[in-house]
Chains A and B, each alone.
Chain A
Amino acid sequence: MTIIHPGEKIIRVVHRHWIVVAQKMTMVAFLILVPIVGLFLLPLFVIPEALAALAVYLFSLYTLFIAVIAFGMWMDYYLDIWIITSERIIDIEHKGVFNREVSEFMMERVQDVTTHNPNFLSLLLGYGTIEVHTAGEKTFVGHDLPNVKEIKDIIIETRMKRA
Chain B
Amino acid sequence: MSDSAGTAIEFVNVTYRTNGNRSLISGLNLVVRRGETLMLLGRSGSGKTTTLKLINRLLDQSQGQVLVDGRSTVEWDVIRLRRHIGYAIQEAGLFPHYTVMDNVALVPRLERWDAGRIAARVREVLQLVGLPYDQFAERYPDQLSGGQRQRVGLARALAADPQILLMDEPFGALDPITRAELQHEFMQLRKTLSKTVVFVTHDVAEALMLGDRIALMDAGTLKGMFAPAEFLRSTDDFVQPYVNAFRAGQQIFNSGD
- Say whether A associates with B: no
Residues on B facing A (Cβ under 8 Å): none
Residues on A facing B (Cβ under 8 Å): none
